[in-house]
A and B are shown apart, each in its own frame.
Chain A
Amino acid sequence: MDYLYLSLLSLIFAMFLTFFIKNKSLSGFVTLIMTSFSSVCLFYLSLDIIIENKTVEKEIFSLKPLLNSSLIIGIDSLSALFLLVISLVSFCVTLFSWKYLEAYKTESPQRFYPFLVLLFISSIGVVSVKDLLFFIVFWELMTLSSWFIVVFEREKTSALKGGLQYFITAHVTTAFLILASVIVYSYSNDFSFKEINKSFLLIIDKYPYLSHFILFCVFIAFVTKAGVLPFGFWLPNAYPQPPSSASSFFGGVMSKLAVYALFRFFSSVIPLSYHTQVWGFIIAVFGVFSIFIGTIAALTQDEAKRLMSFHAIGQVGYMLLGIGVGLYFININPFLAAVSLVGGLFHVFNNSIYKSLLFLNAGAIFYKTGTTDLNKVSGLIKVMPITAITALVGSLSIAGVPPFNGFISKLLIFESSIWSAKQSDVFFLIRGLFIVFGIISVFISAVTLASFLKFVNSAFMGKLRGVINEKRSLPWSMVLSQIILAVVCFITGLFPFIPLKIIYNATVSCFDLLPSFSSVFIVDFKGVGINFFENYSQGAWYPIFVMIPLILLSILIFAFEKYAKAPKRDVETWYGGKEHAPEEVVYKGHSFYQPFKDLVSFRIGNIQFKGFYPVKIPKVEFKIPQKFIKIFDIDEWFYYPVIDRIKKFFQFFGKIYEILTEKYISWLVFGSIFVFVLLFYIFGGRL
């Protein structure tokens, strides 16, 4: 626990210090030192918790007389998993941005580092608090600090536009979260997760519709932040705007914290019930929707960071699919649910590593060329070979190619969604739907590969183009941070048992009815085995055994080529016999997959869809019928007419006083006669 304070203290110190430093390099160095110190602390803390499989909980201060809420820091295995990721990614991000910010000539680091560090602090806060009120506080802090980073380049209109969209969307959905928390508080009378868990059973029992509404609010809030379509429309506009190191933290950690929050709410805040099953299905449906649309839309993008932002949407879909299937089956078949939930969380872990890596690669391209447009750069492997190799590793990981780390988590998600075919007590159509989900995700992982091969091929392969300054080599710090993440990708792919154990503990710490680790997974250093049912083995995945024949065969063939001793000669590229300058015949990134893009692009009304995604989000124009507005305009149809009548009425009486005195007298005479007659009539003439 002290380590958490230490790391937070160093981060806060770094935040205040960087407010006053104008020198980019110095500011970056201070941040780097402080963040690496805090990363080490966090790493140690989370490892300690993971290894001993314990839960640390401490109340820091309380708002008791005012509100039943207190800042409870509680770190269980799930939080520790995310702290691990945060410590790794934040270290790499600061290491990268130290030299990287020099690519931005006019901007001051005072508008970057403090907010980046604040983002680290708030994300640590989000994963470690156990109180809804303070959760919202940190959540909001995260949104605000990330917004400041999005609008880092003040002069760019796209940054301001994207930032505005992000700001509004995030706050509207936070309002949903606040609404949900207020409703919950009115029943539980306490903001801590434990108390809410207890009283939520009562809400589900008594007011099932209200509890659905609460879950809806929670769902909307987190899903929007995670960027799930159709709520994540802001994401491709906002994520590419900040410097790449910050985008890498956004894509790698921030959008995954939304998945964490969703998982946390549906596991430990809200008790397991029929509602969990319903919302599990909904989560899975939205997940598949964003897998499909997000990734196919990514195929049509020509800007590296925008392409990756669309992939952030698609990859979040995989996680939600895993988590959704797990929540759906948790009461029906805990074995299947365990595999699926672990698959979802494992994908969160893997994704945060390779997604940060890929954004860093895009940053390196920007540093070297000043642009991330894939149509303008190519052949960069000649000037930055390590970035090219790490980008290839990241691309293969995100596509799930064995033996990199995306493979096993995707495998778990595919298999658990397809395995639902064997649950005979689930409705037939739902089983069919889950299988279709699985097939869509298999298909989409090929699409992912296609779009990342496009990225690698057009940015790194081909003739060298677009480099600003060939002498400026990539600083070692930027290279090192990419290498670290690529190595983590490779090692977790080759030895999946290390993260698998951690993640299983994290899952079990939230759901206690899941079976024990040894009954679901069989692990040793070679690989991972799996059981979908009790005492029913499905075999095992041995990455090392797959690697051995691969390596042996490649050595064999390579040796053969060496033995054959074919003479080598350097030649010019052959353009079919004609003389062309390389610029004339260049194959731009835009040209990749053009027939496929045409196949998935269409037009509905005024909106052009490119890869099932609208190119321009249409302006929403409400045309309410005139009569409908009139109903609300009470002044128009009620107040003014009535007032007019009354006015006229009194004006009419007012006229009486304006008329001459004679008439006045005659009025008196007539009136007295009238009164006289009246009296005469009433008393029947007996005066």
Chain B
Amino acid sequence: MNTEFIILSSVVNILIVLILSPLFDGFTRKIRALIQSRVGPPLLQSYYDLLKLMGKEDLKSTINPLFRLSPYLSVVSIGMASLLIPITGLCPPLNFWGDIFLFIYIITVVGIAIIITASASENPFAYIGASRKMMLHLSVEPILAIALITGAINAGSFKIGDIVSWYYSNGPNVSMLLSTVCVFLSLQALIGKIPFDISEAEQEIAEGVLIELSGPKYACVKWANMSRQVLFCLVFTQIFIPWPLSENSLINIIISLIKVTAIIFISTLIESLNPRLRIDQALKYNLTLALFSLTSIFLALLGV
């Protein structure tokens, strides 16, 4: 672990999660268009959207200072969380003691930023969205936590890097496979796409948390949502499916990009073929899944 590696891989991580995320979003839009037999926007459309929004008029519905600051926090904390995922090799750029908890908390910060933006905007629709977002986060966080803790028990370490390298070298075992499945089943909820985009439901509560945002703030939150998709797909592919891996970090980056594209493709398929759930259905689904995934802990304790 030298400084060169840290700097290089953090640049790579931030590049993939923050800079490439509009590209992936364009990819999903293209696929959705193909499924709905449309031509769809060009692949780079999301970049154009963001740049256009950055220069648009900024409408302020409140004097609340938090309304101005927290959209930026959402993007920043996603960039921060991206530093905890291994892309160039088995080791992420930031490798702390107990960084699985740090990771969970940083994801929480993303939610907090959007919730505070929403509730600071004084719009009742945004309040409804904020409340729903928090509930969704509340129900989906334990699944990810349990999956990561299963890995921690297996690997005997709370570092994401150690968990990944243990998983890579010791192959899949029952408990880790189970938690992988659970994370996959909760992936749509983690990303916040249909059937779990309840907090931003367009038809129902007029985009909920985003309703009062405009201009650069809207661009930031939109960007954060795009990056969140890439981030959680990366979490799934890099931590729970670490294979294949090579010595060369460049090849690793390419492999991980291919894996992420595949996962985003699957999630887009799910998104465009499913209806939206109600919040109580989503809560029940997630909490049941969380209870079910507790078995993986006991399996890990048994050593299988």
Contacts and interface: CB of A to CB of B under 8 A. Distances in A.
Interface of A: 379, 381-382, 385, 388, 392, 396, 399-402, 407, 410-411, 414-415, 418, 421-422, 428, 431-432, 435-436, 438-439, 442-443, 446-447, 449-450, 453, 456-457, 461-463, 529-530, 538-542, 545-546, 549-550, 553-554, 557-558, 560-561, 564-576, 582, 585-587, 591-596, 598-599
A438 B149 contact: yes
Nearest to B161: A539
A571 B58 contact: no
Interface in B100-146: 101-102, 104-106, 108-109, 112, 115-116, 119-125, 127-128, 130-131, 134-135, 137-139, 141-142, 145-146
Given A422-B156, A442-B141, A564-B54, 16 more contacts: A381-B120, A388-B66, A399-B108, A400-B105, A415-B101, A418-B158, A428-B301, A439-B294, A541-B96, A561-B72, A566-B216, A569-B60, A574-B212, A587-B128, A591-B131, A599-B284
B157 A538 contact: yes
A496 B231 CA distance: 29
A557 B220 contact: yes
Given A450-B138, A569-B57, A461 B120 contact: yes
Chain B residues touching A, majority SS = helix
Given A415-B98, A560-B54, A599 B122 contact: no
A66 B63 CA distance: 70
A550 B77 contact: yes
A129 to B, nearest CB: 38
Contacts of B61: 570-574
A567 B57 contact: yes
A675 to B, nearest CB: 95
Nearest to B156: A422
A418 B152 contact: yes
Contacts of B120: 381, 461
Contacts of A594: 131
B63 to A, nearest CB: 6
A598 B278 CA distance: 14
Given A435-B301, A457-B130, A442 B83 contact: no
B187 interface: no
- Give chain B's interface residue range (CB within 8 Å of chain A): 35 or more
Given A402-B106, A576-B206, A566 B142 contact: no
A549 B80 contact: yes
A599 B10 CA distance: 42
A359 B76 CA distance: 31
A618 B300 CA distance: 42
A456 B70 CA distance: 14
A408 to B, nearest CB: 9
B119 A462 contact: yes
Given A462-B127, A463-B122, A576-B206, A446 B80 contact: no
A419 B270 CA distance: 37
B279 to A, nearest CB: 5
Given A401-B109, A538-B97, A541-B102, A442 B145 contact: yes
A527 to B, nearest CB: 8
A541 B158 CA distance: 12
A558 B80 CA distance: 16
19 contacts: A379-B122, A381-B120, A382-B64, A418-B158, A439-B146, A439-B149, A450-B137, A453-B112, A457-B127, A461-B120, A538-B157, A545-B94, A565-B55, A567-B57, A573-B62, A593-B134, A595-B280, A596-B135, A596-B283
Contacts of A407: 105
B228 to A, nearest CB: 15
B212 to A, nearest CB: 7
A571 B60 contact: yes
Contacts of B158: 415, 418, 538-539
A553 B149 contact: no
Nearest to A447: B138
A233 B215 CA distance: 50
B76 to A, nearest CB: 4
Contact of B131 (A415, A432, A567, A592): A592
A443 B145 contact: yes
B59 interface: yes
Nearest to A572: B61
B95 interface: yes
Nearest to A577: B206
B301 A432 contact: yes
Nearest to A586: B124
Interface string B37-61: 0000000000000000011111111
A462 B98 CA distance: 37
A381 B64 contact: yes
Given A415-B98, A546-B94, A554-B76, A573 B216 contact: no
B263 interface: no
B73 interface: yes
A539 B300 CA distance: 23
Contacts, number: 224
Contacts of A572: 61
A411 B96 CA distance: 12
Contacts of A546: 80, 94, 96, 102
A595 to B, nearest CB: 4
Nearest to B282: A595
Contacts of B10: 549
B80 A461 contact: no
Contacts of B95: 539
A421 B80 contact: no
A568 B57 contact: yes
A587 to B, nearest CB: 4
A292 B156 CA distance: 27
B106 to A, nearest CB: 7
Contacts of B283: 595-596, 599
Nearest to B220: A557
B298 interface: yes
A431 B301 contact: yes
Contact of B64 (A461, A550, A585): A461
Contacts of A450: 134-135, 137-138
Contacts of B104: 442
Contacts of A568: 57-60
Contacts of A439: 142, 145-146, 149, 294, 297
B277 to A, nearest CB: 12
Contacts of A421: 153, 300-301
A561 to B, nearest CB: 5
B112 A561 contact: no
Contact of B125 (A401, A442, A576): A576
A566 B76 contact: no
B54 A566 contact: yes
B112 A449 contact: yes
A252 to B, nearest CB: 24
B156 A573 contact: no
Contact of B80 (A414, A550, A576): A550
Q: Which 7 A-B pairs have the closest CB atoms?
A: A539-B97, A587-B127, A457-B119, A461-B119, A553-B76, A595-B280, A587-B124
Contact of A540 (B79, B97, B216): B97
B222 interface: no
A292 to B, nearest CB: 12
Contacts of A566: 54-58, 215-216
B275 to A, nearest CB: 18
B142 A443 contact: yes
Contacts of A447: 138
Contact of B83 (A381, A428, A549, A599): A549
A447 B134 CA distance: 9
Nearest to A451: B134
A457 B112 CA distance: 11
A104 to B, nearest CB: 30
B65 interface: yes
Contacts of A570: 59-61
Nearest to B97: A539
B119 A414 contact: no
Most buried by B among A421, A446, A564: A446
Contacts of A428: 301-302
